[in-house]
Amino acid sequence: MTEQNPTIMLFREDLRIQDNIALTCAVERGSKILCLFVDDEKSLFARGSAQKWWLHHSLKALERELQNKMDCPLNIKSGSTQEILHSVIAACQADRVFWSRRYAPHQTATDKELKASLEKIGVKVVSCKGRLLAEPWETLNDGNPYRVFTPFWKRMKAHVPIDQPLPAPKSAHGMKLPTSLSIEDLRLLHSNSELCASFHANWQPGEAGACQRLQQFFVNGASNYSKGRDFPSLSSVTRLSPHIQMGDISPRQILFEATRQFELGRIDNKNYTKFYSEIAWREFSYSLLYHFPSVTDEEFRPAFKHFPWQDNRAGQLAWESGQTGYPIVDAGMRELRQTGYMHNRIRMVTASFLTKHLLIDWRVGMKHFWDLLLDADIASNTLSWQWVTGCGADAAPYFRIFNPILQARKFDPDGDYIRRWVPELSQLPTSHLADPWLAPTDILEDAGVRLGETYPYPIVDHAFARVRAMDAYRGLKTTPS
Ligand SMILES: Cc1cc2nc3c(=O)[nH]c(=O)nc-3n(C[C@H](O)[C@H](O)[C@H](O)COP(=O)(O)OP(=O)(O)OC[C@H]3O[C@@H](n4cnc5c(N)ncnc54)[C@H](O)[C@@H]3O)c2cc1C
């Protein structure tokens, strides 16, 4: 029997060995296998500094898992994927490449070109599902993409099976390139050692960390998910987003386990359904990104192209550094800076503040989040920013302007979240935490707060900002698009 040519498994945003269809298919072929990761960042959507830290540790975890569970090395390269694949193929005579599909416009264009160039030299490319429960072309409405979430989700629920995830392949005849780099050679770690220490304290990138977090959620958060997910100081959410983004865990693994817990009666229908719907929002964002690729930098609703965004550098800096004078906004922006994560409710409040209170272009906020979020995801970040701004598909109406004072009172009723991230206000009574500028002087003094010195006055008045934003929006409606 003649030996088959080797197979290449190209890892990208699927850094796991369980439920990795591409990896399983590559191994099942039975030939020698070369597991490869190429650090090939195009400048347009280059990973932010926070996410590079995650990538480093996720790669370390993948390397360990491959070695320990499959006796297979991970090869690392840096540069143009196309050039590297061609030279690796020339060196090892591989005749097949497996990868998990990607959906952002620059990624689909790159992958198409790559596939054509490999097929030209007789190498077959096998692309597999891995990042989504349903491919964007599988959830259509009479052949057209959905623009509204609820029918999209109804269709998904009715037609997309949640199959049992695949186990990790048992072993493989792995190959090691003599020219492989080490993960350290990619220099992905952040230069700020304090920030790295904070990331370490809060996160465990990689497959094992993801599975642990998922199980913790079913013990701690899932039974109160539907309500608790709005309260940033509660542990009611999974915090799985950075793992999902890097592919440490698949959405199928998550939903299969949630469905199992539901069937065992460990979570009720309300919490299960809400959780499923949030996973479906991610799928909806990917569907929009795939079918309307210009949304990465253009508004889904063309009328917003004429919106009178303001150039407000001082406002932007205050927002970015958590010094707006609105404690709930500042708490969120500081949580982001210090942990690489921000709770969903607070993402909405801070994004609304930037685009509506300060009239700063949503793209400015999107870029800032992109650099600091460990879970920065081109589909969810872009479409969520557009949703809050009111310019996206099925978006919150523009006139829904989050009131940062009421949001704080409603969703941080005991002030735990604000006290944690804005410690200079921690001694204030809860009744004054949402709007410290209205607190009597003696109460401020007792709490050690000197407005304008230890904590800023609001950079813009809420009532004024609301009227100004509504005026800008009304003007927009009369502008032809
Ligand atoms: C302005 C803004 C920017 C955002 N940017 C990102 C981003 O870059 N990356 C990202 O993953 N999410 C983003 N989101 C969506 C959401 O805030 C996060 O997915 C969520 O907070 C992650 O926390 P979790 O894993 O604990 O969520 P959970 O509540 O535990 O939800 C489980 C999973 O469902 C998905 N999910 C939940 N809510 C949403 C949502 N509203 N939209 C899309 N998917 C959702 C995520 O994959 C999440 O990990 C953004 C939201 C806003 C308002």
Cβ–ligand 1 distance for 347 under 6 Å, the answer: yes
Q: Of 96, 152, 432, give the one whose Cα is nearest residue 284.
A: 152
Least confident residue range of 273-277, 386-390, 399-403, 476-480? 476-480
Helix (H) or strand (E) holding 33: strand 33-39
In the numeric block, which tokens belong to residue 258? 């949630």
Average the pLDDT over 186-205 and give the result. Answer: 89
CATH fold of 7-131 reads: Rossmann fold (3.40.50)
Do 265 and 227 meet the contact criterion of CB atoms below 8 Å apart?
Answer: no
For residue 111, the CA-to-ligand 1 centroid distance in Å is 26
**What are the structural domain ranges in the chain?**
7-131, 132-163+193-291, 302-478
Kindly report, residue by residue over 28-86, the tens digit of the pLDDT: 999 999 999 999 976 556 888 899 999 999 999 999 999 999 999 999 999 999 999 99
| CATH number of this structure's domain 302-478, picked from the four choices 2.40.40.20, 1.10.579.10, 2.40.50.70, 3.60.20.10 | 1.10.579.10
Phi, psi of 145 (to 5 degrees): -70, 145
Helix (H, G, I), strand (E, B) or coil at 429: coil
For residue 380, the CA-to-ligand 1 centroid distance in Å is 7
Cβ–ligand 1 distance for 385 under 6 Å, the answer: yes
Nearest residue (by CA) to ligand 1, atom 22, is: 241
pLDDT of residue 480: 43
Give yes or no: 68 in active site: no
For residue 245, the CA-to-ligand 1 centroid distance in Å is 10
> In percent, how much of the chain has pLDDT > 70?
98
Cβ–ligand 1 distance for 238 under 6 Å, the answer: yes
Cα 402–Cα 405–Cα 406 angle in degrees, nearest 5: 70
Give yes or no: 53 in active site: no
Q: If you search the block for the tokens 């503040």, which residue do you land on?
A: 353
Nearest residue (by CA) to ligand 1, atom 21, is: 344
Give yes or no: 153 in active site: no
pLDDT of residue 67: 96
Give 44's DSSP letter: G
> In percent, how much of the chain has pLDDT > 90?
90
Kindly report, residue by residue over 218-265, the tens digit of the pLDDT: 998 999 999 999 999 999 999 999 999 999 999 999 999 999 999 999
Task: Please report the atom of ligand 1 found closest to the CA of residue 373.
Answer: 8
What span, in angstroms and rounded, lies between the C-alpha atoms of 375 and 268?
A: 28
Assigned CATH for 132-163+193-291: 1.25.40.80
Nearest residue (by CA) to ligand 1, atom 18, is: 344
pLDDT of residue 450: 98
At residue 172 the predicted structure's pLDDT band, cuts being 50, 70 and 90, is: confident
What span, in angstroms and rounded, lies between the C-alpha atoms of 352 and 392?
A: 13
Kindly report, residue by residue over 397-456, the tens digit of the pLDDT: 778 899 999 999 999 999 999 999 999 999 999 999 999 999 999 999 999 999 999 999
Q: Is the per-residue pLDDT at 479 higher than 50? A: no
Say which residues have a Cβ less than 8 Å from residue 410's Cβ, sequence separation at least 6: none
Q: Is the per-residue pLDDT at 1 higher than 90? A: no
Helix (H, G, I), strand (E, B) or coil at 456: coil
CA 453: distance to chain centroid?
A: 36
For residue 386, the CA-to-ligand 1 centroid distance in Å is 14
For residue 397, the CA-to-ligand 1 centroid distance in Å is 20
Cβ–ligand 1 distance for 237 under 6 Å, the answer: yes
Which residues, listed in sequence order, are joined to residue 7 by a DSSP beta bridge?
33, 96
Considering only residues 395 and 275, tell me which one the structure prediction assigns the higher pLDDT: 275
pLDDT of residue 474: 86
Neighbours of 296 (CB within 10 A): 19
At residue 366 the predicted structure's pLDDT band, cuts being 50, 70 and 90, is: very high
Q: How high is the mean pLDDT of the chain?
A: 94
Q: Which is it for the CA torsion 421, 423, 428, 432, positive or negative?
A: negative
Q: Of 365, 363, 372, give the one whose Cα is nearest residue 338.
A: 372
At residue 94 the predicted structure's pLDDT band, cuts being 50, 70 and 90, is: very high
Average the pLDDT over 160-176 and give the result. Answer: 93
For residue 281, the CA-to-ligand 1 centroid distance in Å is 8
From the number of C-beta atoms within 10 Å of its C-beta (0-12, 13-18, 19+), residue 306 rates as middle
pLDDT of residue 395: 75
Which residues, listed in sequence order, are joined to residue 423 by a DSSP beta bridge?
none
Kindly report, residue by residue over 313-341, the tens digit of the pLDDT: 999 999 999 999 999 999 999 999 999 99
Phi, psi of 164 (to 5 degrees): -60, 130
Integer angstrom CA distances of residue 234 from 34, 230, 417, 464:
44, 9, 9, 32
Give yes or no: 54 in active site: no
Do 179 and 75 meet the contact criterion of CB atoms below 8 Å apart?
Answer: no
pLDDT of residue 399: 81
At residue 148 the predicted structure's pLDDT band, cuts being 50, 70 and 90, is: very high
Nearest residue (by CA) to ligand 1, atom 35, is: 279
Nearest residue (by CA) to ligand 1, atom 2, is: 384
* 96-100 and 144-145 strand pairing: unpaired
Integer angstrom CA distances of residue 103 from 100, 107, 132, 134, 311:
10, 6, 10, 12, 32
Nearest residue (by CA) to ligand 1, atom 39, is: 278
pLDDT of residue 481: 39
Give yes or no: 309 in active site: yes
Phi, psi of 166 (to 5 degrees): -80, 140
Model pTM above 0.75? yes
pLDDT of residue 397: 79
Q: If you search the block for the tokens 């542990």, which residue do you land on?
A: 235
What span, in angstroms and rounded, lies between the C-alpha atoms of 217 and 235?
A: 8
Q: Is the per-residue pLDDT at 153 higher than 80? A: yes
Which of 54, 319, 362, 370 does the annotation list as catalytic? Answer: 362
Do 476 and 307 meet the contact criterion of CB atoms below 8 Å apart?
Answer: yes
Cβ–ligand 1 distance for 381 under 6 Å, the answer: yes
Cβ–ligand 1 distance for 47 under 6 Å, the answer: no
pLDDT of residue 340: 95
Which of 5, 202, 220, 344 does the annotation list as catalytic? Answer: 344
